[in-house]
Chain A
């Protein structure tokens, strides 16, 4: 273990950026400029603003590609760009700087690439919205903040991006703020994130108190160990749970579906919610010093992946099912990132998930677009006939998520299950079994979604005329669908991604230490997945789907429909008592503290009313008291002088 860290610490030497890479700041500046221009310009920018925002995001993607190839050409794969001295206060010296290494380069391409496609999609999806320039401004703001998150070279710079994406997420969830549910969901998301931020803030404080720095280079080469490493690991994990919708902070993510669908695809599926995985991957040198913290990460991942797919089976709202699916898939990533040497697999799953989940969300958006914003799957059915391209895209995403070879999800999920078993001992068996079980349930609820939406009889509400979406929407969907099909295979070919990420994540899982033969794991997984698909097919395709949710269901379904009572728990444990406490304190402040002061005043002045009248508003009375005060000073001073 120590050797691993030493190896990593050696590699944590960052070389200053030169040449093309010294213009890295352009990556952020382009979308940031777009956001600023669009926010400050008047309503007229509704016509050209969306195109400008899309173009700037595209430009950022192109610059990302240029930078990526420049980095590939460097022998030292971690490049540091110092911008300016940000917060220099005594021993606390934080520089504003960017770090471009294989990990951040990978994220840059994901964010700007998927981001650009979703910008294009939104051109069609938001075409008739009167505030569309604001929408695109927020999208650009999000891209800029997310890039800062993955490019910042210190935990504090990361934190700025971290809250920046939280802000963009808030603004976009509440984009249709006149709907009370949207406003409430946005607030909930922000608060849950803030709870996580307490963890991140404290982690930064612990770092500074322990090693006097917050830069990645400084912290990782300082040899943090023992209790400090565990404390940091747990605190960072709390931050990651808030941002990534992991147990116990997962309930905000499904509610966030109140936002426009492109937002759900970009922020609440492909990029922002995976920031927690990025954080933990980035902090690999800390986690590798604390097996305890790693175990906690894997447990959180395993618990969340089960919660997510369990609840995903019970919902009828297509976006909420996808949202819980996201919760569950990120659980897989957490599980992987907590396993020593499996960080690259987590990132692999993050990338493939970015493709297939974005595909499915955009397809779901296309379905809603064609069905008059209907989200209830009980009101869909047989749509494959009316929206063939949407169906095709969704199908690609579906096959990818259930992990059918050779679709992309197969490569990443299979490897996670394998890595979990490879942990060995009870831990390995438990986590491996959970991951395997999760794959089966995922296959079940995704098949249920497919069947209810695209197959079976038409259960539409009156006056529905489903139609295919415009090409501005279909184009990005098709491109992402191609990614869902091919990305996994391309990325793992010859261990490409794992090798590429080694400078950031340390040596990756070595072949030859398997608990179970990988072939057996693969076959086992495919059997479980087939079971899930078959189960859903029997339950939903062979029988008519009622248009209202059945009432006579098992207690499990009831619990799942109520988010396993997490919301109820929050309400009864935090919200209600909080409200009572607040009310009690207001009373106490008015009657208790202030009352005591009033009583005191009354005691001195005979009655507070008389005292008040004496003092009210007249110049002379105040002048008198000032005069009295001044006199007192002089007398006192004289007394002192005379006393000498």
Chain B
């Protein structure tokens, strides 16, 4: 069997090294190497996905590799992908080249912008390193792949924390005016979560030592028999770490700052992928490792998620800053995902994993297009724009389609996932599903309001000479939108990969789908 995961994980790191070692002044070459590397990763990932078996008797984890790492503690380098991890890795492979392409000139522009260079938090060197930016993005890609591929809890934890480093520098060095505040806030929140998880990881290890040799292997841990007390506490440790990462209401306040101050490319990866580690963790760790606790806490998690759906949408409506608005829409979307994870039905589970993928594409597209707009208009404030569609019709059109994906219009892939989440939740928690469904009205409001304010109406004189999108920018956005339309009409290739993994997870949790009520009585 080809060790796909290791190869795909190492390639970007190697690319990052090459980029970092390039002589000064070869910025263009650095960009080309980075983009080339990410395209190689994409090609390899496509090959891996084709190699993934969805046959009925196929093993849950495929492309498995395991080597001892710290033998004394039972730590191993173990990787493997189930359907859930596979589609998320594929999402990374798609998003990174898009982000690289979209951020092509971002560093130079940032340096050229006087407002940014003379900020009081400006670094000592006045010019930011271009190749540093691209190398960081590639390092981040390796870390993100690692976090989804790991099947050893310790290895997972290492990637979970290490992922923060490149992201921290991306925000702190290449971000907006309040980047330092945002970067530190992001780091502190994540560290607090990480600390809780660390405690839980150690606790898990301790629990395993009581029933044989200590181990961090996911499959061995999932088979452990833990007391309810232990399960409860360890669950909470993992859960809070993931809830911060996701972020679930009320652990979300770091996201708007981080999302708004990140460079656009960083924001796409942060919200599009990094945050998915949280919801991925729900399904991979919280539920299979602590099935009793997961079932006990499920109603509370669903309550928080539903609050998040409504709360995030209302706050999105109240924002003046476009990037913060998109960040808050993500809080609402993560509410749907969290709800789907803990509804314990095949539909809701598959829906929420598919939602993770779609949200990456959709929010990615929205952040990028808003980034392009901000890049031109030099302001993040909605009120600074009006009637842009008149002079930048392509930008407006792509903004609109991205917006439609965010409000989950049928025909786009986001609809499939949102509807699956709702329908799956309804069969077990009808009240929660009904409340969350009202979120679709709010979603239409927050998207159409910002679209109307910025793109429609009379053209503001300040932006009379604003340029429409360039070919490179369209090329970055087009694959995302094309994928969403394609998957909206034909999601089967993706859902067929996800569903078996979700069903295995539900089996771990000891739950089965409810039977239709009218058929029960017969």
Quick one: which of A84, A163, A191, A637 contacts B409, CB cutoff 8 A?
A163
Which residue of chain B has the shortest Cβ distance to A208 in the bound complex?
B423
Number of B residues with CB within 8 Å of any CB on chain A: 87
Which of B78-86, B360-368, B442-450 lies at the binding interface?
Answer: B442-450
**Which A residues, 552 to 567, have Cβ-Cβ distances below 8 Å to chain B?**
none
Q: Provide the B473-494 mask, 1 if CB < 8 A to any CB of A, else 0.
A: 0000000000000000111100
Chain B residues with CB under 8 A of A190: 444, 448
User: Do B503 and A187 touch across chains, with their CB atoms under 8 A apart?
Assistant: no
**Complex Cα–Cα for A641 and B209 (A):** 9
Taken together as a complex, chains A and B put the C-alpha atoms of A178 and B459 apart, in Å, by 7
Could you tell me if A198 and B168 are in contact, using CB atoms closer than 8 angstroms? no
The interface residues of chain A lying within 8 Å CB-to-CB of B430 are: 205, 209
From B11-19, B198-206, B295-303, the one touching the partner chain is B198-206
Shortest Cβ distance from residue A81 to the other chain B in the assembled complex, whole angstroms = 16
> Is B499 an interface position by the 8 A CB rule?
yes
B475 CB → nearest A CB, Å = 14
> CB < 8 Å: which of A198, A206, A589 contacts B441?
A198
Q: Which of A603-636 contact B (CB under 8 A)?
A: 612, 615-617, 622, 625-626, 629, 632-633, 636
Asked if B319 is at the interface of the complex by the 8 Å CB criterion, the answer is yes
Contact B433 A205 (CB under 8 A): yes
Residues of B within 8 A of A625 (CB): 191
B23 within 8 A of A: no
| Contact, CB under 8 Å: B441 / A160 | no
Complex Cα distance, B124 from A616, in Å, reads: 13
For residue B181, CB closer than 8 A to chain A, the reply is yes
Within the assembled complex, what's the spacing in Å between the Cα atoms of A177 and B452? 9
Q: Are B350 and A89 in contact (CB under 8 A)?
A: yes
- Quick one: which of A183, A594, A601, A622 contacts B168, CB cutoff 8 A? A622
Q: Report A-chain residues with C-beta under 8 Å of the C-beta of B345.
A: 90
Minimum Cβ distance to chain A for residue B233 (Å): 16
With A177-B456, A208-B516 already in contact, the answer to whether A589 and B253 are too (CB < 8 A) is: yes
Q: Given A89-B499, A626-B165, A633-B198, is A197 in contact with B440 using a C-beta cutoff of 8 Å?
A: yes
Q: Is the CB of A210 within 8 A of B517?
A: yes
Say which residue of B183, B214, B411, B519 sits within 8 Å of A640 (CB atoms): B214
- Cβ-defined partner of A187 (8 Å) among B165, B173, B422, B448: B448
B103-111, B138-146, B274-282, B310-318: which lies at the A interface? B310-318
- CB pair A640–B495 under 8 Å, yes or no, is no
Q: Is the CB of A187 within 8 A of B318?
A: no
Contact string against B for A residues 154-191, beta-carbon threshold 8 Å, 1 for contact and 0 otherwise? 00100110111001000000100110100110010011
Q: Does A86 contact B (CB under 8 A)?
A: yes
Instruction: Kindly list chain B residues whose C-beta atoms are within 8 Å of the C-beta of A644.
Output: 209
Known: A224-B518, A615-B187, A616-B184. A178 touches B409 (CB 8 A): no
Q: Looking at chain A's contact residues, is the secondary structure mostly helix, strand, loop, or mixed? A: helix
**A145 and chain B: residue at smallest CB distance:** B411
Q: How many residues of A contact B (CB 8 A)?
A: 70
Residue of A nearest to B425 (CB): A205
Closest to A159 in B: B410
Complex Cα–Cα for A615 and B319 (A) = 28
Q: Are A617 and B499 in contact (CB under 8 A)?
A: no
For residue A582, CB closer than 8 A to chain B, the reply is: yes
Chain B residue, CB-CB nearest to A171: B400
A495 to B64, alpha carbons, bound, how many Å? 70
Q: Would A90 and B318 count as touching, CB distance under 8 A?
A: no
Does residue B126 face the partner (Cβ distance < 8 Å to A)?
no
A204 CB–B CB distance under 8 Å: yes
- What are the residues of chain A within 8 A of B168 when measuring CB–CB? 622
- Pick the contact of B457 from A156, A178, A202, A578 — CB < 8 Å? A178
B375 contacts A by Cβ under 8 Å: no
List the A side residues contacting B387 at CB < 8 Å: 178
Given the known inter-chain contacts A177-B389, A183-B457, A633-B198, please indicate yes or no for A210 contacting B72, CB distance below 8 A: no
- Known: A194-B444, A201-B419. Contact between A86 and B492, CB under 8 A? yes
Q: Does B180 contact A (CB under 8 A)?
A: yes
List residues 443-467 of chain B with CB under 8 A from any CB of chain A.
444-445, 448-449, 452, 455-459
Task: For B198, list chain A residues within 8 Å (CB).
Answer: 629, 632-633, 636
CA distance A92 to B350 in the complex (A): 11
Instruction: Please state if B516 and A589 are interface contacts (CB–CB under 8 Å).
Output: no
Q: Which residues does chain B contribute within 8 Å of A583, judged by CB atoms?
A: 318
- The reply to whether B410 and A162 contact each other, CB–CB distance below 8 Å, is yes
* A617-B121 contact in complex given A201-B440, A629-B198, C-beta closer than 8 Å: yes
Residues facing A in B246-279 (CB within 8 A) are 250, 252-253
A534-546 near B? 1/0 per residue, CB < 8 Å: 0000000000000
Residues of B within 8 A of A187 (CB): 448-449, 452
B492–A85 touching, CB < 8 Å: yes
Quote the shortest CB–CB distance from A615 to chain B (angstroms): 5
Given contacts A211-B519, A583-B318, contact A89 B347 (CB under 8 A): yes
Is A599 in the interface zone, CB < 8 Å from B? no
A70 within 8 A of B: no
Docked-complex contact A160 and B423, CB < 8 angstroms: no
Q: Which residues of the partner chain B approach A640 to less than 8 Å between Cβ atoms?
A: 202, 205-206, 209, 214
| Cβ of A15 under 8 Å from chain B | no
Residues of B with C-beta under 8 A to A568: none
User: In the complex, what distance in Å separates the CA atom of A585 from the CA atom of B389?
Assistant: 31
Chain B 430-442 interface 0/1 with A at a Cβ cutoff of 8 Å (1 = within): 1001100110110
| Complex: A206 Cα to B419 Cα, angstroms | 13
A183→B400 CA distance, assembly (Å): 13
Answer whether A228 and B518 are a contact pair too, CB < 8 Å, given A92-B347, A194-B444, A201-B437. yes
A637-B73 in contact given A84-B490, A90-B350, A90-B499 (Cβ < 8 Å): yes
Q: Report the nearest A residue to B189, measured CB to CB.
A: A597
Are the CB atoms of A205 and B438 closer together than 8 Å? no
Contact B250 A92 (CB under 8 A): no
A131-172 contact mask (Cβ, 8 Å, vs B): 1 or 0 = 000000000000000000000000010011011100100000
- Given known pairs A210-B518, A585-B311, A637-B202, the reply for A160 and B410 (CB within 8 Å) is yes
Residue of B nearest to A195 (CB): B441
Cβ-based interface call for A212 (8 A): yes
Name the CB-closest residue of B to A209.
Answer: B427
B517 touches A582 (CB 8 A): no
State which residues 181-231 of B face A: CB under 8 Å.
Answer: 181, 183-184, 187-189, 191, 194-195, 198, 202, 205-206, 209, 214
A617/B123 in contact, CB under 8 A: yes
- Residue B113 at the A interface, CB < 8 A? no
Q: Pick the contact of A191 from B350, B389, B441 — CB < 8 Å?
A: B441
Which of A195, A597, A625 is most buried by chain B, counting CB atoms within 10 A of its CB? A597
What is the CB-to-nearest-CB distance from B488 to chain A, in angstroms, rounded to a whole number? Answer: 8
A581 to B427, CA, bound (A): 31
In the bound complex, residues from chain A placing their C-beta under 8 Å from that of B452 are 183-184, 187
Q: Is B60 in the interface zone, CB < 8 Å from A?
A: no
Contacts of B517 in A (CB 8 A): 209-210, 228
Instruction: Say yes or no for B51: interface residue by CB 8 A criterion.
Output: no
In the complex, residue of chain A having the shortest beta-carbon distance to the beta carbon of B495: A89
**CB of A291 within 8 Å of the partner chain:** no
Cβ of A223 within 8 Å of any chain B Cβ, yes or no, is yes
Question: Is residue A523 within 8 Å, beta carbon to beta carbon, of the partner chain?
Answer: no
By a CB distance below 8 angstroms, the chain A residues around B194 are 629
Residue of B nearest to A198 (CB): B437
The answer to whether A617 touches B350, judged by C-beta atoms less than 8 angstroms apart, is no
10 further contact pairs, Cβ within 8 A, besides A615-B188, A633-B198: A86-B492, A183-B457, A187-B448, A593-B252, A597-B253, A612-B180, A616-B172, A617-B180, A622-B187, A641-B73
Using a CB–CB distance below 8 Å, which chain B residues touch chain A? 72-73, 121, 123, 161, 165, 168, 172-173, 180-181, 183-184, 187-189, 191, 194-195, 198, 202, 205-206, 209, 214, 250, 252-253, 311, 314-315, 317-319, 345-347, 350-351, 387, 389-390, 404, 409-411, 415-416, 419-420, 422-424, 426-427, 430, 433-434, 437-438, 440-441, 444-445, 448-449, 452, 455-459, 489-492, 495-496, 499, 503, 513-519
7 contacts between A and B (CB under 8 A): A163-B411, A178-B459, A183-B457, A191-B441, A197-B440, A228-B518, A586-B319
